[in-house]
Amino acid sequence: MLRYPSLRAPLDILFLVCCIALTADVLAPEIWGSGKTKDYPLWFWAGQQVLHGGDLYPSDPRAYFEFIYPPLPAVLLAIPAYFGKLFLYTCLSVLNAVAWWMTAQFSNAMAGSGQRPGPWLFALPGFATVTFVFDMFDLGQPNLVLLAMMLFAFWLLQHERPWMAGSMFALATAIKVFPVAVFPYLLWRRRWAAAASMTIFTAIFLFALPAPVRGFQHNVSELKTWFQGMVGTSSEQGFGQRGEQNWSWVNQSIIAVTHRLTRPVNYNQDNAAKPSATMNLIDVSFKTANWIVLAISLAIGLGFIAVMPPRARMTPRSDAEELGILFCLMTVASPLARQYYFMWLFFPITVLIHRAAYDPRVAVRAGTWAGLAVAGLLMCLSFPVFPNDLQAYGNNLAAAAVIAGELVWHILHPPPDEVTGSPPPAELQTEQQNQS
Is 219 among the domain residues? yes
In angstroms, the CA 211 to CA 205 distance is 10
In contact, 162 and 193? CB cutoff 8 Å: yes
In angstroms, the CA 181 to CA 169 distance is 10
pLDDT at 277: 92
- Among 48, 26, 49, which Cα is nearest to 37's? 26
To which H or E segment does residue 144 belong?
helix 143-158
In contact, 356 and 148? CB cutoff 8 Å: no
170 and 277 part of one domain: no
In contact, 290 and 328? CB cutoff 8 Å: no
Q: Could you give the number of structural domains in the chain?
A: 2
In angstroms, the CA 259 to CA 247 distance is 7
199 and 285 part of one domain: no
pLDDT at 422: 43
287 and 313 part of one domain: yes
**279 CB-near residues (< 8 Å, 6+ apart):** 260, 261, 267, 389, 392, 393
pLDDT at 427: 41
Last residue of a domain, one of 198, 215, 232: 232
Is 1 among the domain residues? no
Is 5 among the domain residues? no
291 and 168 part of one domain: no
Is 4 among the domain residues? no
Identify the sign of the CA torsion 25, 29, 30, 35.
negative
Is 140 among the domain residues? yes
Last residue of a domain, one of 199, 232, 265: 232
Last residue of a domain, one of 232, 257, 290: 232
Radius of gyration in angstroms for the set of CA atoms belonging to the chain, rounded to a whole number: 22
50 and 151 part of one domain: yes
197 and 283 part of one domain: no
220 and 262 part of one domain: no
93 and 27 part of one domain: yes
Is 101 among the domain residues? yes
Is 285 among the domain residues? yes
Residuewise pLDDT in 10s, the chain (436 residues): 678 899 999 999 999 999 999 999 999 999 999 999 999 999 999 999 999 999 999 988 888 899 999 999 999 999 999 999 999 999 999 999 999 999 999 999 999 999 999 999 999 999 999 999 999 999 999 999 999 999 999 999 999 999 999 999 999 999 999 999 999 999 999 999 999 999 999 999 999 999 999 999 999 999 999 998 887 666 676 676 676 678 899 999 999 999 999 999 999 987 778 889 999 999 999 999 999 999 999 999 999 999 999 989 999 999 999 999 999 999 999 988 999 999 999 999 999 999 999 999 999 999 999 999 999 999 999 998 998 888 999 999 999 999 999 999 999 999 987 654 444 444 444 444 444 4
Class of residue 120 by CB neighbours under 10 A (exposed 0-12, middle 13-18, buried 19+): exposed
277 and 333 part of one domain: yes
Is 209 among the domain residues? yes
To which H or E segment does residue 372 belong?
helix 362-380
Q: Which amino acid is at 196?
A: A
In contact, 53 and 78? CB cutoff 8 Å: no
In angstroms, the CA 270 to CA 242 distance is 9
- Among 17, 49, 48, 43, which Cα is nearest to 30's? 43
196 and 267 part of one domain: no
The range of the structural domain enclosing residue 367 comes to: 234-436
Query: Whole-model pTM?
Result: 0.93
290 and 383 part of one domain: yes
- Among 149, 161, 257, 151, which Cα is nearest to 205's? 149
239 and 221 part of one domain: no
